[in-house]
């Protein structure tokens, strides 16, 4: 039941039929998952605020000095 509701909502935004090129036997394993979910990130790279700030660009009224 929940899967059907998810598919219906997803299909309303992005037609599931558009995913057909990624569902054939020649597509790389995990290709669709990577496109939808992104690539895994090693959170160890962001051990502290200074390291995090090296990887982001504050916007929408925020600056590097914002808390």
Whether the per-residue pLDDT at 40 is higher than 90: the answer is: no
Whether the per-residue pLDDT at 29 is higher than 80: the answer is: no
Per-residue pLDDT tens for 7-20? 899 899 988 888 77
- Residue 57's contacts (CB-CB under 8 Å, 6 or more residues apart) are none
């Amino acid at each position: 039941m929940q899967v059907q509701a998810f598919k219906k909502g997803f299909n309303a935004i992005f037609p599931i039929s558009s995913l057909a090129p990624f569902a054939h036997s020649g597509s790389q394993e995990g290709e669709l998952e990577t496109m939808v979910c992104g690539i895994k990130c090693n959170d160890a790279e962001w051990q502290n605020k200074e390291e995090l700030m090296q990887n982001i660009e504050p916007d929408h009224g925020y600056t590097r000095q914002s808390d």
